[in-house]
Amino acid sequence: MEQFTSFSSQVVPLPNENVDTDQIIPARFLKATTREGFGKNLFRDWRYKSNGEPNTEFVLNQSTYSGKVLVAGKNFGCGSSREHAAWSIYDFGFRVVVSSFFADIFRNNALNNGLLPVQISEDFLQTIFEKVEEDPTLKVHVSLEEEQISIPSFQLSEKFPVNPFNKNCLLKGYDNIDFLVSLQKEINAFEVNRI
């Protein structure tokens, strides 16, 4: 995985609430066994009309918005536990999803796949939506080290919680296997001392 420390980016607003994993990546696209290629079908049924034409009213099809931060309404990632939802968001190019509430399984899948779920208060979420509506080029700054998201142009910020284990893995660019490999010396020493 890529190391995650901090960055600034424009945001893509998706104010919809209760976005479930089938809306994120419909079940009919879950045939692959690797993580690559799922981004092209992210929000497929919202991005495209039934005839295959792009839905120009959907935010991902609008040139007005771009960036690596998806800002979504509360209860993002509910529904089934498919890991592909996190894969598709990451493969599309997002590195952060901001919401006032995440489904637990989605949050864990995101963290395990290099995607940072930033949970903030409903008030701060609405502030981001309001500010980006006024200025689509609005940038937010996300610092994993400080566990803080900010809107520098308005000097607004808020802390967000991250599990210490996941934070450490993201900062080092580790998935769970990489983390275990990083402990190889300690594991070997433990095994030697057991004999």
Q: Please report the pLDDT score of residue 132 as a whole number.
A: 97
Instruction: Using pLDDT thresholds of 50, 70 and 90, give the confidence band for residue 188.
Output: confident
Average pLDDT rounded to a whole number, residues 39-68? 95
Residue 177 neighbours by CB under 8 Å, 6+ apart: none
Does the pLDDT value for residue 61 go beyond 90?
yes
Does the pLDDT value for residue 194 go beyond 80?
no
Q: pTM above 0.85?
A: yes
Q: Please report the pLDDT score of residue 37 as a whole number.
A: 87
For the four alpha carbons of 108, 73, 59 and 20, in that order, the dihedral sign comes to positive
Number of domains, the chain: 1
92 located within any domain: yes
51 located within any domain: yes
107 located within any domain: yes
159 located within any domain: yes
Q: Please report the pLDDT score of residue 120 as a whole number.
A: 98
Instruction: Please give the angle made by the CA atoms of 175, 181 and 184, to the nearest 5 degrees.
Output: 155
1 located within any domain: no
The whole domain housing 81 covers 6-194
Per-residue pLDDT tens over the stretch 131-173: 999 999 999 999 999 999 999 999 999 999 999 999 999 999 8
CATH for 118: 3.20.19.10
75 located within any domain: yes
